[in-house]
Amino acid sequence: MSSSFDVLGIGNAIVDTIARAEDDFLVAIGLSKGAMALVDEARAQKLYAQMGPTTVISGGSAANTMAGLASLGCRASFVGKVKNDDAGREFTHDIRQAGVVFNAQPSSDGAATARCLIFVTPDGQRTMNTFLGACQSLDATDIDETHVAEAKVLYMEGYLWDPPGAKEAFLKAAKISRASGGKVALSLSDAFCVDRYRSEFLSLIRQGVVDLLFANESELHALYQTGDFDTAIAALQAEDKLLGVVTRSEKGCVVVTKQNLVSAPAHPVAEVVDTTGAGDLFAAGFLAGYTKGLSHERCAALGALAAGEIISHVGARPQKNLLQLARDHQLLA
């Protein structure tokens, strides 16, 4: 297959607003540490008023992954919805400046561009509150068949399963990708997201819609409804024709196929500042290697390197040139 893009990502176009917070503050305002909750505009405004000094950076799970891929020298494209407002213009500027193709036309009416209010505790954990806004208008009409067919890998986030129209867009894009010989990758996104849509995610895996699955430990436990890691890994390994990649924070990751398990270490960092986007950037590194046909061990090392860079600073977009970083570590030519 001749491909114009290494990876095409479809996801929520979100602008992140990040602030520091203590654990007891999260309890006081009724937030569950480490979780992602969907909020309406009124709740978002109330939470914003309770935040301390903020950092505003474009985000969105799949968009972060595409930015990471571009930084690694890959050809990346993103599909998502924004409004023609300040946040929408900021998102569009940032993702294009990152080197990602983004051709979406902003809407002139309807809900505002999505925002995610992120509270980061001293241990680097992030608690996210997302107002989906314009993202909820993403639907199957936004999927361009030619554009999807041009990508080696179609990458989609589990958060797409929340808005009904986005779910249809997901299924349409997956069908096009598979018909054109591409691979379909899914990130489970969040354990609470898995709790909401467990049976549907398992159906996607078992019906062969998904070729490559990204999950962290808590998401994997939620998917198979077990608190035992080895049991969850065994269940994942039993899935037919699936490549699974499970991240384990400082414990590294496990790459799972029917035939084999590969464990790989995390990349050492001097200080964990903010874990926002760690999984997104791990996926970017892994996919950079995957699209180049590298070994699973090398893909995992690239993922760990990219994740290590992102957790060393605030925000979910790379601050260093990841391609040069990978070359410095002899992971890419």
* DSSP-assigned states of every residue in 275-311: -TTHHHHHHHHHHHHHHTT--HHHHHHHHHHHHHHHT
CA distance 181 to 10: 18
Whether 46 maps to a domain, the answer reads no
Which among 289, 303, 284, 218 is positioned nearest to 64, based on CA atoms? 284
Which among 116, 117, 110, 157 is positioned nearest to 134, based on CA atoms? 110
What's phi and psi for 92, nearest 5 deg?
A: -60, -45
Whether 216 maps to a domain, the answer reads yes
Q: What is residue 2's predicted lDDT score, i.e. its pLDDT?
A: 58
CA distance 163 to 261: 35
Q: What is residue 4's predicted lDDT score, i.e. its pLDDT?
A: 92
Q: What is residue 290's predicted lDDT score, i.e. its pLDDT?
A: 98
Supply the range of the domain harboring residue 224. 5-11+60-109+136-328
Whether 130 maps to a domain, the answer reads no
Whether 16 maps to a domain, the answer reads no
What is the number of domains present in the chain? 1
Percent of the chain whose pLDDT exceeds 70: 99
CA distance 289 to 299: 5
What phi-psi label fits residue 212: left (phi over 0), alpha (psi between -120 and 50 degrees) or beta?
Answer: beta
104 or 231: which leads in pLDDT = 231
For the question of whether the overall pTM of this predicted structure is more than 0.85, the answer is yes
Task: Name the maximum alpha-carbon separation found in the chain.
Answer: 54
Query: Would you say 255 and 289 are in contact if contact means Cβ atoms under 8 Å apart?
Result: no
Whether 233 maps to a domain, the answer reads yes
Which among 277, 299, 298, 296 is positioned nearest to 286, based on CA atoms? 299
Q: What is residue 276's predicted lDDT score, i.e. its pLDDT?
A: 84
Looking at the predicted structure, is the pLDDT value of residue 325 above 50? yes
Whether 322 maps to a domain, the answer reads yes
Whether 285 maps to a domain, the answer reads yes
Residue 250 maps to which CATH number? 3.40.1190.20
The pLDDT tens digits of the residues spanning 188-227 come to 988 989 999 999 999 999 999 999 999 999 999 999 999 9
The interaxial angle of helices 296-310 and 278-291, nearest 10 deg, is: 150
Looking at the predicted structure, is the pLDDT value of residue 1 above 50? no
Q: What is residue 24's predicted lDDT score, i.e. its pLDDT?
A: 96
Q: What is the mean pLDDT of the chain?
A: 95
Q: What is residue 274's predicted lDDT score, i.e. its pLDDT?
A: 87
What is the mean predicted confidence (pLDDT) over 106-135?
92
The pLDDT tens digits of the residues spanning 260-279 come to 999 999 999 999 998 889 99
Whether 31 maps to a domain, the answer reads no
Strands 114-120 and 126-131: antiparallel
